[in-house]
Structure 1
């Protein structure tokens, strides 16, 4: 029997979804990784998340993790509306531990995305550009581009390549959740262009603006230098809780 099985979104070219499982960053013993569409083998602990995958977690906890002795939800996007829903009652009744990447959700410990544990954040290089644009591949139809400003989509390449691109800018303008999060973890100035409320659930949200206004609002970008330390501390503490279950 495996010790752990990690389930998250693995079949889409979204660099944040591919990088968000805690199984990439901690030693859990014999483990496997699965997409939410796959069947989970027998294991001591099933870990669901992270990512914006609340409904996927509910479905998986009820239908896809019968062979797991225990279940954990790690750093998943859970809104206040989700928290008040019957689906959350179902999830909490099926899982041994639940945490969310959203700050201030009653009864859900705040644990930011585990991707902050990556050593890619340890010694970022000096910026090469004053501004870079990191955009969501499917949510950017109304996002003006500037040919003078380097840009990259969240559906391109690896996490290492995305981090290198984000680090290359002194200021990061982005409508990607992980672009926002990773830029804050890198200590860069951030201007966020939210397309949903999921961007507004950090403990200290970065400045935001409408997509059409970003070029005029670049100087409002700010750093959040505490993000990396906080994210790592909370993930280490939650990891300890999970390992105490085994």
Structure 2
């Protein structure tokens, strides 16, 4: 590694440590409600998995969970100021057991323990490890969700209260869609760049999770069966009672209450024959989130 890269890495590590130290060692306040999540502009699932989209009680802009390490000190200091002074809703999305979010989630865990008066809620977060040996075998989260006063996790068989992704509340799922194709392929945006994978499905309609929400939901709605390696395509397909085959790229697919067929891109078309659809998932997920919301806002506003 070059001296320049070593210096850059050391500087980045120092920035992270400083941010964490400043947050943990300041008096905490509970002013407004701030939603912190992965505000990714290229992944429609990341965008719509945040509760601020669906509840007027959260009347401020979301805070990007990655801004704690931003090179721009103004953005970084805004992150510190927002976290220190406000009530926090962390989530949704695959923020647990993922290296890119580990320091932030440990920060919130320590913040909850060190400042018990601080109001922090986890909403619809889930595990998201890329370690293939853990696919279907992950035993515990990398933070103790029980240290938070209220913790809703989207993983059905893990600790925390089961709260599936809040995106089920989007009104687009109230619409009816005409089925015009038997099998639709919906890639994760990174997979969509892999020509050797995409070419295997040259005779099938395709999209990816970096499209806009309406286009993606209309694509799902027009398909009888979906093949995907996107968590939210899997989830939204089940909300719309579609048959789903998943090619997993993370542990996150394995703990949803309703199971897809797990496959590979090579075998996915054939495995569509094994897929089944589930009824009532949309109503169930909405009811869980609305009940959870009542508890969350009662706590945060008390």
Coarse TM-score class (shorter-chain normalised):
0.7 to 0.9
Measure how far apart 1:11 and its partner are: 3.4
- 1:150 aligns to what? 205
Gaps of 5+ in 1: none
Measure how far apart 1:116 and its partner are: 0.6
Measure how far apart 1:124 and its partner are: 2.6
Aligned pairs for 1:1-246 (under 5 A) are 3-38=32-67, 39=79, 41=82, 44-54=86-96, 56=101, 57-61=104-108, 69-78=118-127, 80-83=138-141, 87-89=142-144, 92-93=146-147, 95-106=148-159, 108-139=160-191, 141=194, 143-144=197-198, 145-156=200-211, 158-245=212-299, 246=301
Q: Distance in 1 between matches of 2:280 and 2:38?
A: 28
Please identify which structure carries the higher helix content: 2
Q: CA contact under 8 A between 1:2 and 1:31: conserved in structure 2?
A: no
Q: Deviations over 1:18-41 (max 9, x none)?
A: 110011112215322111023052
Measure how far apart 1:5 and its partner are: 0.6
Q: Deviations over 1:193-231 (max 9, x none)?
A: 222332111222022222210122222221122221121
Please give the TM-score of this superposition, normalised by the length of structure 1.
0.86
Measure how far apart 1:15 and its partner are: 0.9
Measure how far apart 1:138 and its partner are: 2.0
SS at match of 1:212: coil
Q: How many residues align?
A: 238
Cα gap change, 1:174 to 1:71, in 2 (>3 Å): same
Q: CA contact under 8 A between 1:206 and 1:224: conserved in structure 2?
A: no
SS at match of 2:93: coil
Please give the TM-score of this superposition, normalised by the length of structure 2.
0.71
Q: Deviations over 1:122-157 (max 9, x none)?
A: 12311121111001122464635322211011122x
